[in-house]
Structure 1
Amino acid sequence: MIPENLLLNYGATLENIKASEIILHENKRADFYFQIKTGEVKMFNINEQGKEFVQGIFYDGESFGEPPLLGDFKYPASASAVKQTQLYKLSKTKLFELLTENPEINLKFTKALAKRLYYKATILKEISVHPPEHRILTLIDFLKRKYGSEELFQVELTRQQIADLTGQRVETVIRAIKQLEQDGEIKLIKHKVFR
């Protein structure tokens, strides 16, 4: 999102995060901007029964956890590395300085946040009113638009991750994926989902 050289010019540090290491905690104050160089990060909440709900998964070049920086509120979710991850960490003060002095970056930043807000609104609607198959197709189609092309798109998520992102049990996702394959909506090739 923000060019790496610009982040470094404003004092960002490059952090190495181990798989499963917590990067930020729900209900803690937001003091830093995070952008992934390489790796994978998930933002999540855990309910009283210990069930995890994944708010989002972020990959190389993407940032996460920005709304609390801009809105001056605490993190609504925690974030951890899914696998070994390198990420840039920049103080809130320096981020605001960077955005103020680079209006073209500020506009890209705002557009990225708007797309994320659109995704959240879409997924919330899916979770509240649609059957499992529809929820899964909406998620896959969103990912295909964001990361794929018009060709056959391989979903790089596990069944558990799909369940976490759509608010379902993994068993429900497995059944729904089989049904979607039977309906010709997706293809399964060597246990991988394609659309």
Structure 2
Amino acid sequence: MPKTAKRVFDPKLFLARVGDGKTILTFEKNQIVFAQGAAADAVFYIQKGRIKVFVVSEQGKEAVVGILEAGQFFGEGCLNGHALRISTTMAMEDCLITSITKAGMLTALKSEPKFSELFMAYLLSRNSRIEEDLIDQLFNSSEKRLARLLLLLANFGKEGTPQPITAQVSQETLAEMIGTTRSRVSFFMNKFRKLGFITYNGKIEVHSSLLNAVLYDKPEIRRDD
């Protein structure tokens, strides 16, 4: 009898298809994916687009805590016992997203090692990013924090060439993410443009000179406020 071909599991193909517990959703720019306080019953995976994550205090103050892009998960707190969402997520541009129910996610993690590896790699990467963000807030000036954020948004340090920041990220959002005021962000953005670190052409383009200034701690980027 001929041998049966062994099934090859592709985690990204798995995430791109509708199946048990999986739904493919589209969101338009500024559309809410889930709101703070809503029931936490699914995990989401970004196939295309960018998502803004923000929280609102009891006093109504809003703070942006993250910008997520294609290839990242969000809403995984439901796997850790969170019954309600602790943040709101909004599409920054047209997005294609896979929604996986909590039960479907747990089943896939238990039965598919390659999917577990993909998800674990994401969690480890996110944990490292959180640690780096904390160090950044504690020890770097707001100017240097802005430079680092722009580099991250332009995908510096990842495989391939840096990309323009296509999502409309306002100066208010940038200020919230680095813990400073909009006026300071405006000042630093103008300074970066004059120094040739960035250009505006309908979108923000980040140049490698900004990366060099941050890596080698050049005096153009101040250490403290």
TM-score normalised by L of structure 2? 0.72
Identity of aligned residues (%): 21
**For 1:36-76, what per-residue CA distance to the aligned partner results, in whole angstroms no more than 9, with x for missing partners?**
2333221101235544321212223332121x122112332
Q: Report what 2:213 is aligned to.
A: none
1:147 is displaced (CA, Å) by 5.0
Distance 2:98 2:60 in 1: 30
User: Letter of the aligned partner of 1:162 in structure 2?
Assistant: L
Q: Report what 1:109 is aligned to.
A: 119
Runs of 5+ in structure 1 lacking a partner? none
TM-score normalised by L of structure 1? 0.81
Question: Which structure shows the bigger proportion of residues in helix conformation?
Answer: 1
CA contact (8 A) 1:53 1:167 kept: no
Q: Secondary structure at the match of 1:154?
A: coil
How do 1:4-15 and structure 2 match up within 5 A?
4-6=13-15, 8-15=18-25
RMSD of aligned residue pairs (Cα, Å)? 2.7
CA contact (8 A) 1:20 1:81 kept: yes
Distance 1:72 1:39 in 2: 28
Q: Report what 1:187 is aligned to.
A: 198
Q: Report what 1:61 is aligned to.
A: 71
Which of these two proteins has the greater Rg computed from alpha carbons? Answer: 2
Distance 1:189 1:16 in 2: 29
Counterpart of 1:3 (choices 12, 30, 34) is 12
Distance 2:195 2:59 in 1: 34
Give aligned pairs, total.
192
CA contact (8 A) 2:54 2:63 kept: yes
**Higher RCO (CA < 8 A, seq sep 6+):** 1
Q: Report what 1:176 is aligned to.
A: 188
CA contact (8 A) 1:20 1:82 kept: yes
1:181 is displaced (CA, Å) by 4.1
